Structure 1
Amino acid sequence: MSGIDECLMEAMVLPGARGAAVIEWTSGLALGTAGDAPNGDHEVTAAELAEIARLAAEHTAFGSAEENGAGAARAGVGPEHRADGERLVLAEPSARVPGGRDADVPVEDVLLTTRTGYHLLRFVENTLDSSVFVYLWLGRDDGNLALARLRLRDLVERLALI
């Protein structure tokens, strides 16, 4: 297990790393930052990235076909309803919020590309009801996106939020 500072230090040694942060996406607060921020302000970046994380985590478009009610849709039932015998019953929301071992997290990470860089958000899954993600900003010319995704996954698995 490693703490936030150790996680950020390890992220910053990745090829092309420009900046990193651990962000709580419900409030938009940065729990820790390292390196630079794309817009020069880590707090503004954290708030903006939290909006993206919320969209990815809370909307059903990013879940599996089964989670989104595709089977029900084929039967003429919308994703917000399920067939229960002869009647329709309001189903539980299919979007899953990252966190908790009982949650089925459809989104592992989010990748945004720009002309100059890659922005990678990786959700942290732990035993608490976590709403945290790790953000990594890579330069496009010298960043290795595949390596960054693998290493960030490993970092997040070892991250201890206390």
Structure 2
Amino acid sequence: MPGIDECLLEVMRLPGARGAAVVDWTSGLALGTVGDSPNGDHEAAAAETAEVARMAAEQPAFALPASDPSTSSKQGDVKGAAPPVEDVIVTTRAGYHILRFVETSFDSSVFLHLWLDRAEGNLALARIRLGEMAERLVLA
């Protein structure tokens, strides 16, 4: 099971990958980064993408229905429960930003951020691979 650095290096092997980060969406801190940053500053990009992730994860419109058997008893408590959102995709003219939430046993406030070049990348493949990496990622 890969740690943060190994996971980020694996993400960068995806066609069209420009940069990647593992970010804590509650604090906005980058736990690890690799490659380029969309705005030239990995820490600022982490804080900005954390805002987007937090908004998506905490919105009642995206909450799982109460009748869904996979919902946690802590559904209303965002801290400690898996967010109801798997990933967020933001499309720009030049690229894609994929924010993939990582479920952990201790806290689900981490996501993988991949910045993908639109001309060279494959959005579907990147989303699938990010999901696989998020499942294997070990946070220690």
- With normalisation by structure 1, the TM-score equals 0.78
Pairing 1:51-70 to 2, within 5 Å after superposition:
51-64=51-64, 66-67=65-66
Deviation string 1:55-86 (CA, Å, 9 cap, x unpaired) is 0111111124x24x9xxxxxxxxxxxxxxxxx
Are positions 1:128 and 2:106 aligned together? yes
1: distance between equivalents of 2:78 and 2:138? 19
Gaps of 5+ in 1: 70-91
Pairing 1:1-162 to 2, within 5 Å after superposition:
1-64=1-64, 66-67=65-66, 95=76, 97=78, 100=80, 103=81, 105-162=83-140
Alignment size in residue pairs: 135
Deviation string 1:125-161 (CA, Å, 9 cap, x unpaired) is 0111231100000000011000000000011111000
4+ long deviations beyond 6 Å: none
Q: Is the 8 A contact 1:57 1:96 kept in 2?
A: no
User: Larger Cα Rg: Structure 1 or Structure 2?
Assistant: 1
> RMSD in angstroms over aligned alpha carbons?
1.9
Provide the identity percentage.
65
Gaps of 5+ in 2: 68-72
